[in-house]
Amino acid sequence: MLAEIKVNTSDVILNSNAASLDACICTWSNELTKTSKNPMPFQKVTPEKLSASVVKQIELLILRGILRPAERLPAERELAERLGVSRPSLREAISELQERGLLSAKPGAGIFVADVLGNAFSPALVKLFSSHEEAVFDYIAFRRDMEGLAAERAASLASDMDLKVIDTIFRKMEAAHAKRSSTDESQLDADFHLAIIEASHNVVMLHMMRSMYQLLREGVFYNRTVMFKRKATRGELLEQHRVINDALQSRDAKGARAAIENHLAFVEQCLADEGKAVKNEAIAMQRFEHEQNRN
């Protein structure tokens, strides 16, 4: 009787194990069917073409403001060697970038970075800016807000090399000041402020402010060279840029922002004084002419 019980128990265990195995196989089959109907979101990895890598690299150089509008690229042979690609791969990349409007070819001159900035404002609006002084003061207020933020970011986020660029431009400003070159000082002033914006590492701010500074260089808002011709004003402006540079070099974020804001407040006051002086001169001229014509 005991033997029969053991045999029967073994049969039960075997039958139970077989049933469990059948259940597992059935479950796995069902899961496999589900997976085949809803495949996982994976795709085969394909090697990237060399020309695509070249396109990405040049795009980033333009986006980050390293390659600037109207800047000429190196000759084809030199550029291919620098990038480590064949000349046909380089030609393919250049062609694609031209189609995207990022590069342009000038016959006999080479390949240039296209004017990706374009016109920030329509010609009609630019004319309005140049003929109404309130636009000048709104422009300075806008710069004060944007550049104050840029200076604060640059003090915190700029690399050591970014700060060296800013310091190098300031040293050139000192040299131009010693030579009494108002034109050079005016140009370096714009370069100094743009270098701070570049060091803030915000590409949207960079391209927006570059476009705004182009209008400034063209004298749409006011004639900056005139400010640098005045001895007292020139000395004050140089000192203000020194304070800005010192704050950035010491990575004093709040100090850098305050220095920029104080500098642009000074520029605003100078322009207000200049505008008042021009109006007073016009009134004086009217009085003079009237006095000459009196009997």
Domain with 131 in it: what CATH number? Answer: 1.20.120.530
| 70 and 164 fall within a common domain | no
Percentage, residues of the chain above pLDDT 70? 78
Mean pLDDT of 29-51: 65
pLDDT at 107 over 60: yes
Residue 38 confidence class, pLDDT cut points 50, 70, 90: low
Contact residues for 51 (Cβ-Cβ < 8 A; gap 6+)? 85, 89, 90, 92, 93, 96
pLDDT score of 131: 75
Residue 2 confidence class, pLDDT cut points 50, 70, 90: very low
pLDDT score of 24: 56
CATH code for the domain in which residue 84 is found:
1.10.10.10
pLDDT in tens, 125-135: 777 777 777 88
Contact 204, 162 (CB under 8 A): no
Structure tokens at 214: 């182009």
| CA–CA distances in Å: residue 224 to residues 49, 175, 189, 270 | 48, 18, 9, 11
| 68 and 149 fall within a common domain | no
| 57 and 151 fall within a common domain | no
C-alpha closest to that of 205 among 221, 193, 187 = 193
pLDDT at 35 over 70: no
Structure tokens at 253: 């974020």
Contact residues for 144 (Cβ-Cβ < 8 A; gap 6+)? 260, 261, 264, 265
- Helices 87-99, 76-83: crossing angle, 10 deg rounding: 100
Residue 193 lies in a domain: yes
Contact 197, 175 (CB under 8 A): no
| CA–CA distances in Å: residue 164 to residues 241, 245, 249, 283 | 15, 10, 8, 49
What predicted TM-score, i.e. pTM, was given to this entire model? 0.68
Q: Supply the mean pLDDT for the chain.
A: 82
Residues spanned by the domain of 223: 123-290
Residue 142 lies in a domain: yes
| 218 and 88 fall within a common domain | no
pLDDT in tens, 41-70: 776 766 778 889 999 999 999 888 888 888
pLDDT at 188 over 60: yes
CA contacts within 13 A on the Cβ side of 176 = 21
pLDDT in tens, 230-272: 767 888 999 999 999 999 999 999 999 999 999 999 988 888 8
Looking at the structure of the chain, the number of domains it has is 2
